[in-house]
Structures are given as structure tokens and as C-alpha cells.
Amino acid sequence: MAQAAHCSPRTISSAFRNRLGLSPLSHVRTLRLDRIRADILASTDPIGTIAYRWGVSHLGRFASAYRERLSRALRRTPLRHRSSKVTQLPVERGKPVGDARHG
């Protein structure tokens, strides 16, 4: 960023702190958490899948950062677009019933 703005990294950092009250990295993390939350609300994909798609490598740290940023536990995020009913195949002796691959 500093190179693109033709100034020092310290100048960029100071500008972010003066304007937003955050370091550049903290600002990027905040934007990223907000966008992950938007994806969670708009998708039917599992939360972990969405987080990994955004490059999250440690779900525990992600959940903590999410809770700190949004003052809400990840599991309390409204899942308006998700089905409340989970569909699973019946299982018989470790094999899904009706699955032609297992005879």
C-alpha cells in the first residue's frame, strides 16, 4: 500500500490510525470478517466451508475474532437462508440404505 501511495509504511499506518482508529492489518481483518458474515447469511454452505473459502486456517481463532468483532457467537448468527431440517440417508450397518454402490 505504501509503495502504491508513494509514502512510507509508517505514514500509511499513521493515516489509518488517525482516520479509522485501526492499523491497516486490523482494518483488513475487520472487512474480511464482515464479508464472511455476509456470506454466512447468504449461503446454505456450512460455516466452516465458507470460512475456509476465505482463507481461514484455524476455526477456533476465527470464532474468537468473529465474537470479538460482532459481539455475537458464531453459532448465534441467524441462519435465515439455511434449512432447519437436515436430510440424512438412513444407515444400516454402516452403509447408507438405498445406495446402489453398496448393494
For the chain, the structural domain boundaries read: 23-76
Radius of gyration in angstroms for the set of CA atoms belonging to the chain, rounded to a whole number: 21
pLDDT tens column, 1-25? 889 989 999 999 999 999 999 899 9
pLDDT value at 90 more than 70: no
Q: What confidence score (pLDDT) does residue 79 get?
A: 59
pLDDT value at 62 more than 80: yes
Confidence band for 78, pLDDT divided at 50, 70 and 90: low
Q: What confidence score (pLDDT) does residue 1 get?
A: 83
Angle at 101 between CA 96 and CA 103, to 5 degrees: 75
Quote the CA–CA distance of 103 and 34 in Å, as a whole number. Answer: 47
Read off the pTM.
Answer: 0.63
Return the SS3 of 95: strand
